[in-house]
C-alpha cells in the first residue's frame, strides 16, 4: 500500500550513513567506539534518537523515518516503565489530580494559537514518552520538572529525576478567546480529538496489530514526539512521532486543524520487523452498551452509546450502514472491498432525549470519519464487537485490514484524513437509517424488526409510492414485510419478522429502491440470539 506524501526513508545515502552511524556497523560514527560501556547502558532506540533528533540538533522530518527504519533492524526494546512508589500505584482519582500548571504549558504566553500540556506518568500510563519541540528549525527537549505540576494529595519524592511524560494535550484558541482542549495523545498509539462544543468520546489508534486475534493483540506505542512550533495565528499544528512494537517500527506525521470540524491528517511510514498479516489501519475504538435494537435494559437511561453505527462508502460507491450491538459473544464482521472511499463510526443521535444521561452526555460525542489518501487496494473494513456491561469500556473497534501482508524489511506507506465531527463532510445523497429496533416476534424464536429511513424524498407521498424494499436474510425466512409512510416526519418505516429456524446467526440486508436504483443507504445487520 502506498499513497500520499510522507517524509520517509527514501534517501539511500543518508539512510546508509545513519544505519552505519546507529551501531549496525559498530557505532563508530557516533563516537561510541571509545565508550563501549555507554553504548551498552542506553537502549538502542535512545541511541538512535540522540544521534540525529535530540536537543540542539536541526530537525528534518525525513530523519524520523530513518530512525524508525534503523531501529526496526534491531530487536525490540521496551521503553522504561518503572516509576517512584509515589506514582506507581495511583488510583484514577489521584492520577487525575496531577495537572500541569496552566502557565507552564509549552508556548504559554507567546501569543500563539496553540499550546501543549505534557502529561505526567502514572496510573495505567507508565510508558515513558520523550517530547521535543521544534523551534526555528532546532530541536528542544521538553524537560520534566516537578515544580511545573500540581500534585493534589500526592507528594513527589525528592530528586525524582527525569521521568519524561506519558503524552500530551493540545489546546487551541485564536485571538483573545480562551484556549480550549482539542486533542490528547496518550497511551500506546491512541489519540482523541473533538470539534467545537463536543466532549471526548471515540479514540483513534495509529496502528493496530492483530486485534481480537487468537495469537493475541500487540499494542504499538509512541517513544517520542517532535512538535513544530506554529507561526502566530496559525490554525494547524504539525507533530511527528516515532512508534515502536515488537513486530514493527514506524514514523508518523500528524497535522491537526481544530474547528467546527476538527481534521487530522495521518501519514505513516511503517517498517515491519516480521511479516504482518493482520494490520489495522485507521483503527477507531468506541463504546456501545445498549440501544433500541438490544431490547430492554435494566437502566434508567434510554440508551448508552458513544457511536450508533458503522458507515462505509465502498469502492463501488455504495453507502452501507451497520447498526452496532452489544452481543452475548465476541462478534467479528468483515466488509470486503477494494479501494474504499471512506468509513467511520458515527453518532447520529444529537438530542438529549435519545439517552437521558445527565452525566455521560453521549449526544455530545464526536463521530469519526476516515477518508483514505490514494488507493488502498484490496482488503476489508473489519468490525469487532465485544460484550460489555460498562459504559467505560471501548468495546467496539473498526479498521481497514489490507488483504496482502506487509513483509519484513519492506517499507509500507499509508496516509488518510480523519474528521472529528458532528456530521461527516460526505454524506449519502439518499435516505439514511435513523433507527433500528428489534424485539420479540409473534411466536417461537422469531424476531421483529422496525427500520426507520429518513430523507427529503420521503416527504413526498407520490415519491414514496415508487419505493420498494429489497430485503434478504442469510440464512432465515422473512415474514410479514410491511412499509409505513410518515411524510410529515420525512420517514419511511420498514417492519418485518425474521424466522431463523434453528440457526444461531443470520445476516440481514435491506435497501430501498425506486425505478431500479438505490433510494437509501444499505442497511446490514447480524442477528444472533
pLDDT tens track for 167-182 = 999 999 987 778 999 9
Task: Identify the band that residue 230 occupies on the pLDDT scale cut at 50, 70 and 90.
Answer: very high
Residue 175 backbone zone (phi > 0: left; psi -120 to 50: alpha; other: beta): left
Instruction: Select, from the ranges 230-234, 269-273, 462-466, the one with the highest average predicted confidence (pLDDT).
Output: 269-273
Residue 153 reports pLDDT greater than 90: no
Radius of gyration of the chain, Cα coordinates, nearest whole angstrom: 25
Residue 40 reports pLDDT greater than 60: no
Higher pLDDT residue, 404 or 176?
A: 404
Closest CA to 424 of 195, 216, 89: 195
Q: What is the mean pLDDT of residues 127-143?
A: 97
Q: What is the mean pLDDT of residues 239-252?
A: 98
**pLDDT score, position 378:** 98
**pLDDT score, position 274:** 97
**pLDDT score, position 163:** 94
Which neighbouring-strand residues pair with 431?
520
What are the pLDDT digits (tens) for 158-215?
A: 888 899 999 999 999 987 778 999 999 999 999 999 999 999 999 999 999 999 999 9
Q: What is the mean pLDDT of residues 472-476?
A: 97
3-state helix, strand, coil in the chain (%, to 5): 15, 40, 45
Q: Where are the alpha helices (DSSP H) in 457-516?
A: 461-465
Q: For all residues of the chain together, what is the average pLDDT?
A: 91
Task: Identify the band that residue 156 occupies on the pLDDT scale cut at 50, 70 and 90.
Answer: confident
Which neighbouring-strand residues pair with 170?
116, 183
Q: Estimate to the nearest angstrom the gap between the alpha carbon of 523 and the chain centroid.
A: 24
Q: What is the mean pLDDT of residues 408-429?
A: 96
Question: In the CATH scheme, what is the code of domain 46-421?
Answer: 2.70.98.10
**pLDDT score, position 294:** 86
Q: What is the mean pLDDT of residues 382-387?
A: 97
Closest CA to 451 of 499, 489, 483, 473: 483
Closest CA to 250 of 140, 410, 23, 80: 410
**pLDDT score, position 27:** 33
CATH architecture of 432-527: Sandwich (2.60)
Closest CA to 22 of 63, 83, 57, 80: 63
What are the pLDDT digits (tens) for 307-333?
A: 999 999 999 999 999 999 999 999 999
Burial category of 315 from C-beta neighbours within 10 Å (exposed 0-12, middle 13-18, buried 19 and up)? middle
Hey, where are the domains in the chain?
46-421, 432-527
Residue 397 reports pLDDT greater than 90: yes
Q: What is the mean pLDDT of residues 247-271?
A: 98
Residue 87 reports pLDDT greater than 80: yes
**pLDDT score, position 295:** 73
**pLDDT score, position 16:** 36
Residue 221 reports pLDDT greater than 70: yes
**pLDDT score, position 7:** 36
Measured between alpha carbons, how far is 229 from 222 in angstroms, rounded to an integer? 20
Closest CA to 105 of 201, 181, 200, 196: 181
Cα dihedral: 442, 443, 447, 452 (round 10): 0
Q: What is the mean pLDDT of residues 343-370?
A: 97
**pLDDT score, position 322:** 98
Element housing 134 (H / E): strand 130-135
Whether the domain at 46-421 and the domain at 432-527 fall into the same CATH topology: no
Residue 356 reports pLDDT greater than 90: yes
**pLDDT score, position 145:** 94
* φ/ψ (deg, to 5) at 72: -65, -20
Q: Estimate to the nearest angstrom the gap between the alpha carbon of 193 and the chain centroid.
A: 10
Q: What is the mean pLDDT of residues 277-303?
A: 93
Residue 109 reports pLDDT greater than 50: yes
- What percent of the chain shows pLDDT beyond 70? 92
Residue 12 reports pLDDT greater than 50: no
Q: Is the peptide bond before 100 cis (omega within 30 degrees of 0)?
A: no
**pLDDT score, position 4:** 36
Residue 481 reports pLDDT greater than 50: yes
Q: What is the mean pLDDT of residues 447-462?
A: 96
* φ/ψ (deg, to 5) at 369: -120, 135
Q: What is the pTM of this model?
A: 0.92
- Tell how many helices (H) and how many strands (E) occur in the chain: 7, 33
Amino acid at each position: 500500500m502506498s499513497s500520499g506524501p510522507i517524509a520517509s526513508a527514501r534517501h539511500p545515502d543518508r539512510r546508509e550513513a545513519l544505519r552505519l552511524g546507529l551501531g549496525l556497523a559498530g557505532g563508530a560514527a557516533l563516537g561510541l567506539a571509545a565508550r563501549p560501556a555507554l553504548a551498552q547502558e542506553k537502549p538502542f532506540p535512545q541511541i538512535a534518537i540522540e544521534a540525529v533528533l535530540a536537543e540542539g540538533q536541526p530537525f528534518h522530518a525525513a530523519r524520523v523515518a530513518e530512525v524508525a527504519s534503523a531501529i526496526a533492524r534491531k530487536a525490540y526494546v521496551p521503553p522504561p516503565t518503572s516509576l517512584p512508589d509515589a506514582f506507581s500505584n495511583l488510583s484514577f482519582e489521584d492520577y487525575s489530580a496531577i495537572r500541569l500548571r496552566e502557565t507552564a504549558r509549552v508556548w504559554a504566553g507567546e501569543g500563539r494559537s496553540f499550546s501543549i500540556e505534557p502529561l505526567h506518568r502514572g496510573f495505567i500510563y507508565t510508558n515513558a514518552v520523550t517530547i521535543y519541540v521544534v523551534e526555528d528549525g532546532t530541536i528542544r527537549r521538553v524537560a520534566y520538572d516537578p515544580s511545573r505540576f500540581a500534585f493534589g494529595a500526592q507528594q513527589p519524592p525528592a530528586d525524582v529525576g527525569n521521568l519524561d511524560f506519558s503524552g500530551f494535550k493540545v489546546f487551541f484558541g485564536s485571538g483573545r478567546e480562551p484556549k480550549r482542549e482539542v486533542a490528547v495523545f496518550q497511551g500506546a498509539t491512541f489519540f482523541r480529538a473533538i470539534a467545537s462544543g463536543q466532549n471526548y468520546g471515540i479514540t483513534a489508534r495509529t496502528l493496530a496489530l492483530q486485534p481480537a486475534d487468537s495469537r493475541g493483540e500487540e499494542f504499538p506505542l509512541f517513544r517520542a514526539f517532535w512538535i513544530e512550533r506554529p507561526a502566530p495565528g496559525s490554525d494547524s499544528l504539525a507533530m511527528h512521532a516515532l512508534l515502536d512494537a515488537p513486530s514493527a517500527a514506524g514514523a508518523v506525521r500528524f497535522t491537526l486543524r481544530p474547528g467546527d470540524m476538527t481534521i487530522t491528517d495521518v501519514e505513516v511510514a511503517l517498517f515491519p520487523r516480521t511479516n504482518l498479516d493482520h494490520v489495522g489501519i485507521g483503527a477507531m475504538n468506541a463504546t456501545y452498551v445498549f440501544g433500541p435494537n438490544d431490547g430492554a435494559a435494566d437502566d434508567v437511561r434510554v440508551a448508552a452509546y458513544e457511536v450508533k453505527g458503522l458507515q462505509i462508502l465502498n469502492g463501488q460507491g455504495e453507502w452501507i450502514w451497520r447498526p452496532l450491538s452489544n452481543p452475548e459473544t465476541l462478534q467479528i464482521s468483515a466488509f470486503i472491498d477494494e479501494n474504499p472511499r471512506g468509513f467511520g463510526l458515527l453518532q447520529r443521535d444529537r438530542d438529549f432525549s435519545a439517552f437521558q444521561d445527565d452525566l455521560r452526555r453521549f449526544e455530545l460525542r464526536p463521530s469519526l470519519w476516515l477518508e483514505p489518501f490514494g488507493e488502498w487496494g484490496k482488503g476489508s473494513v473489519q468490525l469487532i464487537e465485544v460484550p460489555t456491561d460498562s459504559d467505560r469500556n471501548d468495546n467496539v473497534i473498526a479498521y481497514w485490514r489490507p488483504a496482502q501482508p506487509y513483509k519484513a524489511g519492506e517499507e509500507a506507506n499509508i496516509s488518510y484524513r480523519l474528521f472529528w465531527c458532528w456530521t461527516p463532510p460526505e454524506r449519502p445523497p439518499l435516505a439514511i437509517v435513523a433507527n433500528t429496533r428489534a424485539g420479540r416476534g409473534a411466536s417461537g424464536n422469531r424476531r421483529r424488526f422496525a427500520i426507520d429511513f429518513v430523507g427529503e424524498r420521503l416527504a413526498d407521498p407520490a415519491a414514496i409510492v415508487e419505493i420498494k424494499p429489497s430485503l434478504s436474510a442469510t440464512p432465515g425466512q422473512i415474514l410479514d414485510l410491511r412499509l409505513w409512510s410518515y411524510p410529515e416526519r420525512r420517514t419511511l418505516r420498514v417492519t418485518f419478522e425474521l424466522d431463523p429456524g434453528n440457526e444461531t446467526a443470520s445476516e440481514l440486508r435491506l435497501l430501498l429502491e425506486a425505478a431500479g436504483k438505490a433510494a437509501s443507504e444499505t442497511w446490514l445487520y447480524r442477528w444472533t440470539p
